[in-house]
Amino acid sequence: MKGPNDVGSEAAEPDAASEELDPLLIIQEQFDRARAHLTGFKRGLIEFFQVPKRSISVCFPVEMEDGSVRTFHGYRVLHNRALGPGKGGIRYHPEVTEREVAALAALMTWKCAIVKVPFGGAKGGVVCDPKELTETDLRRITRRFVHELGDNLGPHTDIPAPDLYTTEQTMAWIFDTYDILHPGENNRPVVTGKPLDLGGSVGRRAATGYGAFLVTERYLEVAPLQDFTSLRNARVAIQGFGQVGLAAAEAFRDAGARIVALSDSQGAIHREEGLDLAAVVAHKREHGTLVGLPETRTLTNEDLLLLDCDILIPAALGNQIRADNAAKIRARLVVEAANAPTTPAADDILRERGVIVVPDILVNAGGVTVSYFEWVQNIENEEWDLEEVNARLRRRLRRGTRQ
């Protein structure tokens, strides 16, 4: 275990455009900007929020399905527990770093506070490429990672959830591993985003994407843009077509918006008249990508960001809107469904150009909100229906947006 100021040794490579892209430095800069608006806090207390409370770095060997043995690195960072137990997703991605995980853990602290969920901020990750791993490999990596973290996870201490390339199945493995280590206890609240049969909540899978829609809808009520007060016929471009991108696309479509572009890691598709989401899902299921769907134009992910549209929703990776492309963004509203998709320099450029950025810590807070509902249901041995979950989600996100 490391001290609070030792988070990772790997600083980011200087960027060609000389923009700082190190995720932890970016989050710290954003916090510095926000703290200018905070009054009445003692200096030492503010400093406490600038560094993670705890950072765990583990390394473990796994025997792969093909008989080889590989060593993996994993991280779990607890940023702050002032409001309650740590809460935050675990991501599996080849580019995971301890600094990125620490930055995302801090975002979780602010996110929970905005929607008044009684959790603190945490995040985890394992450096691996899920696309090259079998299901057996992923199960073994997950079990071993949870075992390494031991009692640093717990229903009242630190509670994981899904994130990039982790799913309900991953959460089921986390629950099962923890449950074996703690027999005879109600261990279901140790992880959220579980399958329904294991105590998951209805509405959790769609919560983040649906929440992005609820926040946007409320934002336009509170601060209407000139000539743009309703989502009906709004042209929406979404980067990413995973759990968040798909649910956001469905919610915006159901409100009458036109989804003009979507993307995955292999590229983007564009259709000005609007995409048929059922056809996109079917194509992705059959071909492993949405690229190549008939009657669509193929674009790069970069092209998608620069499309002429009303709402741009980055719902994939961080640092997508940077100093080198922000001046070319043509959307009127950027709705940050992904974590940290816009750099501080890009934020400045967009603000100067009058492009509104609705921030990640609000836009994607629907996920942690329904995770909290799942946790409450698990503790109380209750099961709420979708109507109740979504009504509660709507109330919290509308209140958070207003604030």
For ligand NAD, the binding residues (CB under 6 A) are 162-165, 208, 239-245, 263-265, 301, 315-317, 337-339, 364, 367
Torsion 211-212-214-218 (CA) sign: positive
Q: Which residues contact 83 (CB under 8 A, 6 or more apart)?
A: 109, 112, 113, 117, 118, 119, 120
Quick one: 48 or 325, whose CB is closer to ligand NAD? 325
> CB–CB of 253/247 below 8 Å?
no
Quick one: 4 or 21, whose CB is closer to ligand NAD? 21
- Nearest approach, Cβ of residue 114 and ligand NAD (Å): 13
Q: CA-to-CA distance for 302 and 267, rounded, in angstroms?
A: 9
Q: CA-to-CA distance for 391 and 393, rounded, in angstroms?
A: 5
- Nearest approach, Cβ of residue 250 and ligand NAD (Å): 13
Quick one: 37 or 285, whose CB is closer to ligand NAD? 285
- Nearest approach, Cβ of residue 290 and ligand NAD (Å): 8
- Nearest approach, Cβ of residue 50 and ligand NAD (Å): 21
- Nearest approach, Cβ of residue 38 and ligand NAD (Å): 24
Task: Report the candidate in 335, 131, 375, 183 with the shortest Cα–Cα distance to residue 245.
Answer: 335
87 is catalytic: no
Torsion 106-108-113-117 (CA) sign: negative
Q: How many residues belong to the chain?
A: 403
Task: Report the candidate in 163, 132, 160, 129 with the shortest Cα–Cα distance to residue 146.
Answer: 160
Within 10 A of 141 (CB to CB), how many other CB atoms are there? 23
Q: Which two tokens stand for residue 329?
A: 């963004």
Q: Which residues contact 194 (CB under 8 A, 6 or more apart)?
A: 168, 171, 172, 175, 188, 200, 374
Q: Which residues contact 224 (CB under 8 A, 6 or more apart)?
A: none
> CB–CB of 233/260 below 8 Å?
no
- Nearest approach, Cβ of residue 339 and ligand NAD (Å): 4
Quick one: 64 or 281, whose CB is closer to ligand NAD? 281
Quick one: 257 or 337, whose CB is closer to ligand NAD? 337
CA R_g for the chain: 20
Nearest position to ligand NAD, beta carbon: 242
Quick one: 152 or 266, whose CB is closer to ligand NAD? 266
Catalytic residue among 87, 111, 123, 194: 123
Active site residues: 123
